[in-house]
A and B are shown apart, each in its own frame.
Chain A
Amino acid sequence: MEAVLFGITAVLALAGGVGVVAARQPVHSALALLLVLLSLAVDYLLLAAQFIAALQVIVYAGAIVVLFVFIIMLLHTRSGEGPRAGAGLPRAGAGVLCGLFGLALLALAAGVRETAPPPAPGFGTIQDVGRALFGRYLLPFEAASALLLIGMVGAVALGKRLRPAGDPSPGRPQAPPAGGPARAR
């Protein structure tokens, strides 16, 4: 049962991953990403990590992909502004590399003979994660808040609008930035 379920989610996740890269419409990429994330959520359940599975759905599927979809919707690639046709060679190269990578992983996985012991009762519950987070992993947990602070500073420093002005700026080319993150309106 679990093996079957894993097989299904694995195929779905891989298909989604290919879809993210191959889709021509950005919205389709985002939806394929959603498929990947949801498949992984089921995989987390199979690993008895139920809290992580719930977070995967809430944060990734619920917030991040929704944000992606909104951004794609609001950015509107104008007609004729689509992605340039990809060069064949890099694409083929990427395919070959991914294939080799997958084969190497398969070979590695084949070498692992041990079966994992069944998880301890209560493993993966929110209490269990909490005890680890506020016990053994306290320092990484507190470091995570510093990371979030860095994220806020970065978002403001790079995303807040600047007063339009032709002031001197570092770097060479002084061509007026035509859109892009450099000129927030």
Chain B
Amino acid sequence: MLSGYAPVLVHLVLAVLLAAAVLGLHMLVGGRRPTVEKVLPYESGVWPIGSARERVPVRYYLVAMLFILFDVEIVFVYPWAVLVRELGARGIGEMFTFLALLAIGYLYLLKRRALEWE
């Protein structure tokens, strides 16, 4: 039963090996001669302006939260999409009931301008 997933395992092992090989080779054969200029932080070849440790405003999290919610919504659509012929009209009704509530949520988000980067 699980043998079908052997390629996934092979892929995983290869990915780990590749990453380890690249990093390991770099450590082994790559030269390392740090000078003051080399280890300075830089930004597009010029001196950095201000600190990189800026806090990002909270609206980012609002967008991220909404993204997760719609991501979860999509998850429910997958099995429906696979079964849509089998379920027929009833299935369409069921899915659109589900989506209707979320569409109302989407309208609400639009009207509250929650999706705009003010």
B2 A5 Cβ-Cβ under 8 A: yes
Q: How far is the CA of A159 from the CA of B56 in the complex (A)?
A: 13
Stretch from B16-24, B32-40, B41-49, B72-80 contacting the other chain: B72-80
Residues of A14-33 contacting chain B, CB below 8 A: none
- The closest CB in chain A to the CB of B104 belongs to A149
**Inter-subunit contact B97/A142 (CB<8 Å):** yes
Return B95 CB to nearest CB of chain A, in Å.
Answer: 8
A residues sitting closer than 8 Å to B (CB atoms) are 1-2, 5, 45-46, 48, 51, 55, 58-59, 63-64, 67, 70-71, 74-76, 78, 126-127, 129-131, 133-134, 138, 141-142, 144-146, 148-149, 151-153, 155-156, 159-161, 181, 184-185
Known: A142-B98, A148-B73, A185-B58. A78 touches B53 (CB 8 A): yes
Q: Which residues of B are at the interface with A, using a C-beta cutoff of 8 A?
A: 1-2, 5, 53-62, 64-69, 71-73, 75-76, 78-80, 82-83, 86-87, 91, 94-95, 97-99, 101-102, 104-105, 108-109, 112, 114, 118
Enumerate chain A residues within 8 angstroms of B5, measured Cβ to Cβ: 45
Q: Check A148/B105 contact, CB under 8 A, given A134-B91, A184-B57.
A: yes
10 A-B contacts (beta carbon < 8 Å)? A45-B2, A45-B5, A51-B79, A67-B67, A134-B91, A142-B101, A148-B102, A152-B109, A156-B108, A160-B62
Distance between Cα atoms of A152 and B115 in the complex (Å): 11
* Of the residues B75, B82, B91, contact of A55 by C-beta under 8 Å: B75
Instruction: Decide if the interface of chain B is mainly helix, strand, loop or mixed.
Output: helix
CA distance A71 to B83 in the complex (A): 37
A residues near B83, Cβ cutoff 8 Å: 127, 130-131, 134
User: In the complex, which residues of chain B have a beta carbon less than 8 angstroms from the beta carbon of A141?
Assistant: 76, 94, 98
Task: Identify B71's interface contact among A46, A63, A126, A146, CB under 8 A.
Answer: A63
A63, B118: Cβ atoms closer than 8 Å: no
Q: Number of A-B pairs whose CB atoms are under 8 Å?
A: 124
Chain B residues with CB under 8 Å of A5's CB are 2
Interchain CB contact under 8 A, B112 and A160: yes
Inter-subunit contact A145/B2 (CB<8 Å): no
Q: Is the CB of B101 within 8 A of A146?
A: yes
A47 to B47, CA, bound (A): 55
B80 partner, pick from A2, A67, A134, beta carbons under 8 A: A134
